[in-house]
Amino acid sequence: MTTKRTYWHRLVGLAAVAGAPAAFIAACGGDAAPASPTKAPEAQKPEPTKAPAPAATTAPAPAAPAGAPKTGGTIKIAIYQEPANLNPFLNTQTVGSVVRNAILGGLIRPNPKGEYVADLAAEVPSTQNGGVSADGKTVTIKLRKDVKWHDGKPFTAADIKFTYGVIMDPTNPVTSRTGYRDLESVTVKDDWTVELKFKTFYAPFLTLFGVILPAHAFGGSTSIEKAEYNRKPIGTGPYKFVEWVSGDHITVARNPDFHVKGKPYLDQVIFRITPSREVGIAQLKTGEVDVVWNLIEAQIPEFDGSKDIDVWAHPGLGVERLILNLSQPSGDKAGDPASKHPVLSDPKVREAIELGINKKVIVDKLLYGKTTVGSSPIATGWAAPKIPVSEFAPDKAKKLLDDAGWKPGSDGIRAKDGAKATLTYQTTSGDKLRELAQQVIQEQLKDIGIALEIKNIPSASLLGTWGDNAPRAKGTFDINMWTTNPGIDPHAHLFIYYHSSQIPTEANKGEGQNYARLKDPDLDKALEEAGSVPDQEKRRAAYERAVKAIVASRVHIFLYNRLDVDGARKYVQGRTHNPWDNLGWDLDSWWLNK
């Protein structure tokens, strides 16, 4: 009997503890399952804007250096997830790229301003420097000639060709072939020149080959699913892989032959795998680790008044939003884009909802004023148009609803033609920040005569797929709230969320993420154009049209920009925040001031 009782004790406890991390994961990843990529996935790193200076731009000067960087020492970084492996083509986890950033390198990467800079490429190819043909289908990439792999072998164009072979090898479960499947050929012109020929123009072509694998490390075979390399990578990055103790830590050490002279500064970086963010925070407080990766907004007050610890909080790419369903939320026609939501299909109602929400109060009170109010699906970067923040005007909202025929009933809730403005409002359960925001919004919309019924469900159900019968996929919801974000090239993100072909239906087996069921021919046209012209300026203009149409449709109401939060001991110097990449993207510039 004892055993059973003990067992149940542990199980109940498990439920309590299990709930917490799940909530945090949801809070941050928003759109993600446990392995939550909050950032641009690896395969989708940078994009060209101007012709940037080649190399040497890997890292800007330290933000607030206390004197010149000192060399030496060890930094311990707590990561609350363990990478599945370190092969970039076999998993999409953010934490995987945090560790890989120290070890591996790619052709081109985004800098903090959202511009493309060369890493292993000698320069960013463009139509101006002859790297990109007029039709955009032929791209010639010149490589740096001074780069060595960690085992001393030279880095050459053959490695790019090999990496392409790995991605396309049918025996490999690579997570995505997007972009690569549009390639017709990858040709080695000479040791340091490679030519990519596309079958069709692929707009985010500069995001390809964000990570390169060493051809010589696989014995010539491109079949890599079970390769030892996946846990013992060889790269070109600032640090060399040393060891990985499962569930405990991953150690990397200075690469003395790193191609940026004088860097990195640290002797060693140890990624300490902790089971949760809370454990990482405890270890940061005791000084067992120096940095904690990826905290949530609600944890910022944990460090109030700390003399030794800095909270690094910067607006990131994720935009917390309401998703409004335009189709019928129940019955036979549920989710059918041809059907109409009795309340939300009225654009005046959607407009009134946005006018009725005081976004500033949420930012000031719930996010400590540390972030910015949301107004657009693309918060920052080369493609981000300037979109004014919506005003908070409850009186205007009431008038809009009055004029549209939505009259308040005896309980103050508006109705029109028998349809009552009572809507269910779902987000991930157990998320403190989201629950508080819900209460604020519920209160504010009640004031204009719209009732919200909060019915939160676990993130796995809320953010599930067609196969899981998730409400967002099947269209069986009124209002959802979660976070998602574009990569540095917004093409995939905007297309999948707002193009009319991306509405999940029985016919397309639930493909696409146009959960709001928005159908706007002008928007479709703008998105198609933005994805098909090689000229970056024309793309930017098309995105401006697309974003304006999205904002005006109010199928997503952008509440606030999520924060990237990390914690660190004050002696950790040299770091720069890069919303386009993960913590440690500039690990070669970090140093210890102690």
Partner 1 sequence: MGTYIARRVAQALPLLVLMTMVVYALLRATPGGPMSMYEADPTVTAEDLARLRAHMGLDQPVPVQYARWLGSLATGDWGWSLVTKRPVLEMIGERLPNTILLMTVTFAVTLAIAIPVGTISAIRQYSWFDHAATSLAFAGNSLPTFWIGLMLIMIFAVGLRWLPAGGMYTLGEPSSLGDRLRYLILPVATLALFDATHYVRYLRAALLDVIRQDYVRVAYAKGLDEATVVRRHAFRNAAIPLVTAIALDLPQLFSGALITETIFAWPGMGRLFWEAASRVDYPVLMGIFTVASSLVIACNLLADIVYAWLDPRIRYR
Alpha helices (H) in 184-337, listed in sequence order: 277-286
Between 128 and 469, CB nearer to partner 1: 469
Half-sphere exposure of 521 (CA within 13 A, CB side): 0
Rounded CA separation 40/559 (Å): 20
Among 158, 279, 419, 533, binds partner 1 (CB under 8 A): 279
* Part in contact with partner 1 (CB under 8 A); list of ranges 140-148, 336-344, 484-492, 528-536: 484-492
Beta-strand relationship, 138-142 and 193-198? antiparallel
CB of 286 to partner 1, least distance (A): 5
Q: What are the b/e assignments for 274-313, b being 16+ CB within 10 Å?
A: bebbbbbbbbbbeeebbbbbbbbbbbbebbeeeeebbbbb
Assess 338 for contact with partner 1 (CB under 8 A): no
Assess 139 for contact with partner 1 (CB under 8 A): no
CB of 55 to partner 1, least distance (A): 27
Between 218 and 392, CB nearer to partner 1: 218
Map the footprint of partner 1 across residues 209-268, applying CB under 8 A.
225-226, 230-231, 245-249, 251, 268
Between 142 and 493, CB nearer to partner 1: 493
Rounded CA separation 319/342 (Å): 27
Q: Per this entry, what is the length of the chain? A: 594
CB of 272 to partner 1, least distance (A): 6
Assess 436 for contact with partner 1 (CB under 8 A): no
How many Å is the Cα radius of gyration of the chain? 25
> Which candidate, 84, 2, 96, 80, places its Cα nearest to that of 42?
96
Assess 14 for contact with partner 1 (CB under 8 A): yes
Question: Is there a contact between 591 and 573 (Cβ–Cβ < 8 Å)?
Answer: yes
Among 127, 140, 176, 306, binds partner 1 (CB under 8 A): 176
Among 206, 212, 319, 492, binds partner 1 (CB under 8 A): 492
Among 49, 92, 299, 429, binds partner 1 (CB under 8 A): 92
Give the containing element (helix H, strand E) for 93.
none
Question: Is there a contact between 309 and 299 (Cβ–Cβ < 8 Å)?
Answer: no
Among 130, 261, 286, 304, binds partner 1 (CB under 8 A): 286
CB of 134 to partner 1, least distance (A): 26
Question: Is there a contact between 426 and 455 (Cβ–Cβ < 8 Å)?
Answer: yes
CB of 317 to partner 1, least distance (A): 12
CB of 219 to partner 1, least distance (A): 18
* Part in contact with partner 1 (CB under 8 A); list of ranges 60-68, 169-177, 363-371, 536-544: 169-177
Rounded CA separation 529/274 (Å): 45
Between 282 and 419, CB nearer to partner 1: 282
Q: Cis check for the bond before 264: say yes or no (omega within 30 of 0).
A: yes
Rounded CA separation 445/136 (Å): 49
CB of 69 to partner 1, least distance (A): 20
Q: Work out the number of other CB atoms within 10 angstroms of the CB of residue 570.
A: 14
CB of 429 to partner 1, least distance (A): 13
- Return the DSSP state at 364: I
> Which candidate, 225, 86, 215, places its Cα nearest to that of 169?
225
> Which candidate, 523, 521, 516, places its Cα nearest to that of 543?
523
3-state secondary structure (DSSP) of residue 112? coil
* Part in contact with partner 1 (CB under 8 A); list of ranges 272-280, 330-338, 426-434, 437-445: 272-280
Map the footprint of partner 1 across residues 55-84, applying CB under 8 A.
74, 76, 82, 84
Between 55 and 90, CB nearer to partner 1: 90
Between 105 and 179, CB nearer to partner 1: 179
Cα 553 vs. chain centroid, distance in angstroms?
23
Sign of CA dihedral 483, 426, 457, 515: negative
Between 58 and 172, CB nearer to partner 1: 172
Among 23, 24, 44, 524, binds partner 1 (CB under 8 A): 44
Question: Is there a contact between 463 and 519 (Cβ–Cβ < 8 Å)?
Answer: no
Among 49, 58, 91, 371, binds partner 1 (CB under 8 A): 91
* Part in contact with partner 1 (CB under 8 A); list of ranges 283-291, 407-415, 540-548, 551-559: 283-291
For residues 287 to 306, the per-residue mask of contacts with partner 1, x marking binding by CB under 8 A and - elsewhere, is: -x------------------
Rounded CA separation 593/70 (Å): 7
Among 23, 26, 27, 37, binds partner 1 (CB under 8 A): 37
3-state secondary structure (DSSP) of residue 29? helix
Among 148, 197, 216, 285, binds partner 1 (CB under 8 A): 285
Among 127, 133, 138, 178, binds partner 1 (CB under 8 A): 178
The terminus-to-terminus CA distance of the chain in angstroms comes to 56
Beta-strand relationship, 74-79 and 116-118? unpaired
Between 301 and 369, CB nearer to partner 1: 301
Assess 594 for contact with partner 1 (CB under 8 A): no
Assess 464 for contact with partner 1 (CB under 8 A): yes
Tell me the number of residues near partner 1 by CB under 8 A: 82
Between 175 and 424, CB nearer to partner 1: 175
CB of 89 to partner 1, least distance (A): 11
